[in-house]
Each structure stands twice: as structure tokens, then as C-alpha cells.
Structure 1
Amino acid sequence: MNILQRIFNDYFEIIKYSMHPRPVELENIEKMLNCGDPSFGGAMYHCDCGEWKFVPFRCKSRFCPSCGNMYSIDRTTSMSFKLIKCSHRHLVFTIAEELRHYFLDDRTLLDCLFFAVKSVILRLFRKLNKTEEFTPGFICVLHTFGRDLKWNPHIHCLLSEGGTGNNIPWRKVHYFSYEFLRKSFRTALLKAMLSHIGPSFKSEINKNYLIHKDGFYVYAESNKCNPDIVIKYIGRYLGRPAIATSRIDDYDGDNVTFHYNRHENEKLVHETVPATDFISRLIRHIPEKQYKMIRYYGIYARHREKDKKLFRAIPTEKHFFLLAFNKWRESILSTFGYDPLKCPNCGKTMIFVELYYNHKRFSLQDYYEKVMTTKLVHT
């Protein structure tokens, strides 16, 4: 067990019966605790020299430090194929601190964040030429945590510095009005929240206009990076867990000590909190089941006719399944610099023999048919 699994394992009963977790929180906690447990199945590999190796299944939960990082790598790779070859800018849309609790009490309000960012960026580009209606490509990633693990919902956005018009193929855009971004984001978000919450929210709107006269803070400085560099930069924000195990310094059974760099001055801060508080801070950032934390807009949106034609030409799902099955090998090779399937005796590559699933043996073909049959039944 890693240190995060030990913390949650020690307090599992308290979490389950005293902390009243959401169903999705409990589900992800159980997945994380059982990640890599051989009793849940795995794959057997064999070498001609007689060496055997068993590789257990992973939990695939984004709450799990190892699986969450793997998810982040997958999304970064997927995004790199989506981006067009032009300069991009990294923007961060934040909200007023006094509004944060609304999004914690009602998580459906998180859609308002995406809606507000989308409307602001499209308005920004279409103001350039009302006839052309320039449309950029942008990808929004929702984060609900700050470096100190407290609830702080905000949007990271990767935006192309240019857009396509009705008649003009492409127009570069290097200047972004901070005043427009901040004030427009404040207005769009407050209006979206009003339509969702109702008239009772009007007093909160008036208060925010008085306190935040310059709008909500938006980071939009020019990164001056090509797509490859920006992808690696924003890849740190794609679906990663709220905390890496390397940031947890100590756990004595009662308290947890972790560290982070303060955002304002990058000063290193060590914080010690009761284990129950640490757990509470972490699990609140688990999103609802199948909630889309990453969304594509503009020319990156999937609903375009060109994309539909492209997806029809993609190989069958079985092809992707077989690729995904061996993806862990490539990930370990690139991350840690060694081949997990290299035989320790003779140095040859070990080959797949069979799968174990719920204590039963399957060939890869049998396992694939089982997975597909299950999908068809649920469909």
C-alpha cells in the first residue's frame, strides 16, 4: 500500500459510516484501495526460458494517484492529436471566494462555469469582425481544488491565438483585453447562476458587482509557446488527482502532513491536519459519475460534420481495446525507463498467455467477447 491507501484504509469505516460520503466518493475510494490487488484479476505473461510474470489489473479511478496520472497522460496524448499547428495561450478563469460554496452545495452549478467561459471567448473573437464571426479552438478543464486542497472551482483553458471565419480561413490574434475577459466572465457567470438558482440570488449579484468592480480574476498572459510545449504545460492539469503521494510528508495514524507551494509567492508551506480533515478535503473533489471535466469548444468541438466523417473512418473498437491493453507497458517504459515485460533471466520480451478475471482464466479473445457482451447487455 502507498501512503494514501494506508490513510484511507485506516479510516475506511469512519468514512463509510460517519462522514456520509456521496455514492461516487465511496465507489472511488474502494477502487483506489483495491488498485493492483491480484485477487481482482490480472494478466499472465510467460517467457520461453520458463519465467512467469503476473500483472494485476489497475482500478482506472482518477482519484487513484497512479491511475489518475495515467489518465492525465492519455488525455494529453489525445489532445495533442486534436490541436492545430498554431500558438496557443493558457488562461485561468477564477471566481470570487464568496461564491465557492454555491458550487459545493449544488454541483450542477459547475456547468455554469463552462458556459460562462465558452460565451466569453466566443464573444471575444466574434467582436473582431461581426460578419466573419471568427471561431477559435479552445479546451476547458475544470479544477475544483487549490494547492492547499481547499474547495476552489476554476477553469483552465487552452485557447488558439487565432480563429477561422466565414470567408477568411484564419486570422491570428495576439492581443486579449483583460478588462473584457474579467468583466464579461463576471457578468456571464452571475447571469448563469441566477437562471439556475432563481431570484433569491439577486442580492448576491449586487454584492459581487460592488466588491469586484474590475470583474473576476482571469489569468491570460501570453505564454509564447508552440502547441507541443503548451500541451506538456497544461497536461499537468488534465484530470490529475488532487494530490500526489510525493506531497504527503508524514502520517502518524492521527494526523497527515503535506506540503505545497503557496500560489502568491511560491513559498513552500508544510501543513498538518487531522486525518479526517485531510480525507474530507480530498474526497469532495471527486466529480459525479461520468461528469465531463474536460470539454472541447469552437473548432475543436466534436459535433462538426468534418469530425463525424473522420470518426466513421476510425478502426473498430476491438482495435482500440488491444492497443489499450498494452498501453501500461509503454507508459512504464517512458516514465521509469525500463521494460516491465523484459525477462529478468534471458532479456527476451515475455508474451501474453492468459487473463485472470474473478479467479477464472480467460484468453484475450474470450475476455474481449465477455467485455463486449456485457456492454451490449447494459446498452
Structure 2
Amino acid sequence: MGRPSLEVADIFRSHGPAWRAAQRGHLSLGQLKVMSAIEQCRSAALGGHVLRCEGCGTDQVSYNSCRNRHCPKCQSNAAQRWLDARQADLLPVEYFHVVFTLPAPIADIAYQNKVAIYGLLFDMAAEVLQVIAADAKHLGARIGATLVLHTWGSALTHHPHVHGIVPGGGLSIDGKTWVACRPGFFLPVRVLSRLFRRRFLEGLEQLHRAGRLQFFGVHAALQDAKAFADWLAPMRQQEWVVYAKPPFAGPQAVLAYLSRYTHRVAISNSRLVAADVSGVTFRWKDYRAKGDAKGKVRHKTMTLAPQEFLRRFLLHVLPGGFHRIRHYGLLANGNRRDCLAMARTALQAKVEVPTGEPAARAPAFVCRHCGRPMLIVEIVLRERPSIRAPPS
């Protein structure tokens, strides 16, 4: 696949320096690192390799990737490696897709408290799924879930929500049998929504009492306990959005979905249309608009000033060390292997053991002209960063 005609990196290189100067003192270290990584990705600044084709002898220079998780160019390989590791986790059952979304007022304070509130969003979504599934009135089983955090809407606005991929059933309490959900139906959405609302608000109050929330600007008054309680009150009455989609059409559809969602960034290069000094134009999907049967009316274009585009993109930089993909219940990292083995035994599912010689590994570099493998013939060293010397 050829290089897109326009990349997020091009916008950062053109407008990033002026943006840094204008926002000096207002950008976090994490945001500055993301900007620098995207600007240098696959450029001489990071070094690379000189490649030579085994077939036609063509030489090519391939520069290194920044491997930053917010970079649009670096996620496809990371997603593929992650998917290869997940292949063995799939069970021969229906899989469901659920989404838990935070109301807009809480999303506003979540931006100021990313670690605390995003973490609470993960934990409460997982807890609600497991509690309702364990209830004998609904499923009566121990389930597993993979949750993925997205913090953006299609227009790059701040819209934190988690996507969950959940097997359609779970192990009985004694772990000996598999309890399947009804075909095409996992758990009642309204029950999930009501419990999610209650448990999340309880958790938010606990964070406030523990002094783990910070408030700035128009929200500064929420530091007071009574003001915070008054602010929360209306949200106890409104409906919270929990969405459940129909089951996937087989395990391969689950993997295809995961490949699109697990390592997605706020905007991909393929959505960019044009960019100049006056604005950045990109495609977005208006979910509030009524589209036709194929959803074509919903797809629109939007133009933002370059500074506003950068601001919205950087809204979604996660704190260092924060995990945006998490596994719970039967799929939790600590007990995944044992629980999946028990599930396969209960399902009487055979584990396919590879036989014969392992499949040949695809070459890392392939010639764009003839398709033959390319060999590394020279290492291009990365540019040395300038070192500040003490004043003379």
C-alpha cells in the first residue's frame, strides 16, 4: 500500500512549531512527546535501513517508525501482533459487542482526571457485565470481557467510552459446564445501563471524598462536597447510554472488528482530505443524522483551523503507562489460560494443535516493483540530538 497523499504527520510538521510556541506552558510533557514522535516518524531523524531487492536489485531507504501508540502510521503492525496473540483465545461461541458511554458533563471533568475517571470507567463497565451475568435471573455464569477505551467522537471531540467484546455465555459457578446465552441476545441493556449509572456515580463520589479529583476553570467550584453532590444529582435521573450490538458472524468477524478497534487512534490518515494554511478538512460520520440504508448521508466532511485540529487531536493523548486495552473475568491476564481450558472442556471444543513444519514467516520488507524480498544492506543511523553545552 502506497503512502497516503496527506498524513497527520504533515499537519504536525507544518503547524506544530507555531502551536507549541502559542501554547507554551499549557501542553503536557506527554502531548509534547506525541507531537515530536509523529513529526519524526519514518524520517531520517529516527534512522533506518538501506534495502536491496533480491530480484530486480532495486535499492530503497526505509526509515524507522516512532512506535508511539498515538501515531496513525504505527498501529497496523502493533494491531497485527496483538491479534496473532489473541487467535488462541477465541471460543466457538457467539460474541457480542457492548459500549458504555459517559454523559457529557462527566466527560468534561474526565479530561482533567484521566487516570482516575478512565480507570473507573473500565472497572465499572467490567463489574456491571460480570454482576448481571452472574445473576441467575439473567445468565448465572462467570463471563470474560475484553474492553478497549476510546476517548474521541468521529469529529475528534472528547467522547470517552469503552467498547467491550464479550463471549456469549460463561462458565457455571462450579466451572464444570458452559452456560450459553439466548441466541442473538446477551444481557438486557436497560439493566446494564441502570447498574452502570449507579455504580459509576458511587465510585465517582468515593474518588471525590478521597481527594483524587481535580477541578479547574468553570469546574473549580466542584471541589466543594455539597457543590459536587448538587452537580451529580441530575445525572442520577437521566438515562446513560449502554449499547449492545447483534452478535458477530463468527470468530473471524470478531478478529476483523478487533483489528479495527484495539489500536485505533483519534483519526487515521485515510480520513484526511486536504490541508493548507487556512484549515484541515477530514471525513467524519454524523451519528445524529438520519442516513439511508447504507448510511451514506451520515458521512460528511469538516474543516477545522490547523490549530483547532491539533488541539482536538491532542485531547486524546493518554497518560504514560495507562493501559487502553484490558481483560476481565475469564479473560483476565492472571487466569486466562486456565479459564479458557475449562471453557473448552465444558464446550467439548477441540484445541487445534499445529502439525508439520511451521508456516514460513513473511519477509519483513517486500519490493514494491517485483514483490520479492528485500535485504538490509546498510544501517542508517538516527540523527544525533543536539546536546546543550554549559555556557562558556
2:230 to 188, 203, 221: 203
CA RMSD of aligned residues (A): 2.9
TM-score (normalizing by structure 1): 0.79
The alignment status of 1:142 with 2:154, answered yes or no, reads: no
1:335-376, Cα deviation, whole Å (9 max, x unpaired): xxxxx434858x75333345344369xxxxxxxxxxxxxxxx
Which residue pairs with 2:303 in the alignment?
Answer: 272
Please give the residue correspondences for 1:188-267 in structure 2 after superposition, counting only pairs within 5 Å.
Answer: 188-198=199-209, 199-200=225-226, 201-210=228-237, 212=238, 215-264=239-288, 265=290, 266=295, 267=298
Please give the residue correspondences for 1:72-91 in structure 2 after superposition, counting only pairs within 5 Å.
Answer: 72-91=79-98
8 Å Cα contact 1:248/1:259 also seen in 2: yes
The CA deviation at 1:223 is 2.3
The letter for the 2-side match of 1:275 is P
8 Å Cα contact 1:262/1:269 also seen in 2: yes
Moved more, 167-176 or 69-78: 69-78
Q: Distance in 2 between matches of 1:268 and 1:149?
A: 15
What secondary structure is seen at the aligned counterpart in 1 of 2:164? strand
Greater per-residue helix proportion: 1
Q: 1:152 to 1:39 in 2, by over 3 A?
A: closer
What secondary structure is seen at the aligned counterpart in 2 of 1:220? strand
Please give the residue correspondences for 1:17-166 in structure 2 after superposition, counting only pairs within 5 Å.
Answer: 17-19=21-23, 20-46=26-52, 51-108=58-115, 109-128=117-136, 134-166=141-173
8 Å Cα contact 1:25/1:283 also seen in 2: yes
Q: 1:128 to 1:222 in 2, by over 3 A?
A: farther
Q: 1:305 to 1:173 in 2, by over 3 A?
A: closer
What percent of counterpart residues are identical?
Answer: 22
Moved more, 107-116 or 43-52: 43-52
Q: 1:51 to 1:249 in 2, by over 3 A?
A: closer
What secondary structure is seen at the aligned counterpart in 2 of 1:258? strand
The CA deviation at 1:84 is 2.1
The CA deviation at 1:83 is 2.4
The alignment status of 1:355 with 2:379, answered yes or no, reads: yes
Q: Distance in 2 between matches of 1:46 and 1:96?
A: 54
Q: 1:118 to 1:254 in 2, by over 3 A?
A: same
TM-score (normalizing by structure 2): 0.76
Q: Distance in 1 between matches of 2:78 and 2:86?
A: 12
2:314 to 275, 283, 298: 283
1:316-350, Cα deviation, whole Å (9 max, x unpaired): xxxxxxxxxx87x56xxxxxxxxx434858x7533
Name structure 2 gaps, 5 residues minimum.
210-224, 342-360, 385-392
Name structure 1 gaps, 5 residues minimum.
311-325, 331-339, 361-379
8 Å Cα contact 1:38/1:56 also seen in 2: yes
Q: Distance in 2 between matches of 1:239 and 1:50?
A: 35
Please give the residue correspondences for 1:284-323 in structure 2 after superposition, counting only pairs within 5 Å.
Answer: 284-304=315-335, 306=337
Moved more, 347-356 or 259-268: 347-356
